[in-house]
Structure 1
Amino acid sequence: MNTPPTEDHPPSCRDLVGLLAQTDRRAAYAALALGATTVAEVAERAGLRQPAAAVALQKLADGKVAAFDAERRTYTLLDDTFRLAVQAEVRVSGRGGGDGAGSYFRRGRLTSIPGKAEVRGRVLAVVADSFEPGVTYSEAKVNAICGEWLDDWVSLRRALVDEGLLRRNGAGTTYERV
């Protein structure tokens, strides 16, 4: 029933902090930042054994902080990861933060739809950014996009319409971002 995500969301600030909380991963990240690209180079620069470096690099790749080139067997840092996480955090919580909206996101997905109107509006505005203005979407496409954000995509779609962020045609078959 639920449409599986069609694209991966970048990690959140919370995800990145969790990922880099482990010493070996921080050391591997630093080695990559200093120009190491292979497991052996990362191990040498980070002062890690090669198996530990390989595990740390795999975790960084899984966490979308680094990319692995299977053909060359090299790793590189993904430059936009931190910028995208901070941009998403600012959109959710505002520059001052502390409004509670950020607590509704985990690993780039919604955990639930807030009940408090102010927080709900901020959270739904982040989701609404997934829809391009001026583009008409089929109900199936809206369901797929909403399913990327929340398992209960029906409630999310309804909330977007109820909040005036999406407009449904009279027949209920197409949607547009307002």
Structure 2
Amino acid sequence: MTAQVLAGALADDGRRRVFGAVVLGAADRAAVAARTGLTAREVVTALRRLADAGVVTGVDGDLRVDGDWLREAAAGPPAPDAGPVDAGERVLRTFLRDGVLVGLPAQRGRRRVLLAHIATSFEPGVRYPERAVDDTLRGWCAGGASDHVTLRRYLIDEALLSREQGVYWRTG
């Protein structure tokens, strides 16, 4: 169980209202319906989803919030003992998830750090046709945060890639 599961379970307004009613002491479906103003069907559906996520227990009787599970989800995974992190690493952690771009920094310096990392996808001295460059950059854009054409333009503008007659090579 993770904080993402908790966030997903509480993403719906009705489920949040049901969760709140249980936290405040509603011990059965009728009490939850009375406190939330939701129909019995909406309450049952919300309770089932909350129980499936592991947030609420006792759906058929005595409703309770699983406090131990909430504490574990709030604590999250233990942080690795990595020591100090430099600014470049921080930029990469912020804008890359599992090797996929989740956004482009607005600040030029941060964007340059990210682009320099992406440029390592290309071997120095090797000439690439535009299609190969696009295919490589599409892998970085799988999350939809940016597109490969924008990345290619930035790489050229920052002199990390050079281009001549549809052929690209790593420079910077």
Please state which band the TM-score falls in when normalised by the shorter chain.
0.3 to 0.5
Rg larger in structure: 2
Higher relative contact order (CA 8 A, sep 6+): 1
TM-score, length of structure 1 as denominator length: 0.44
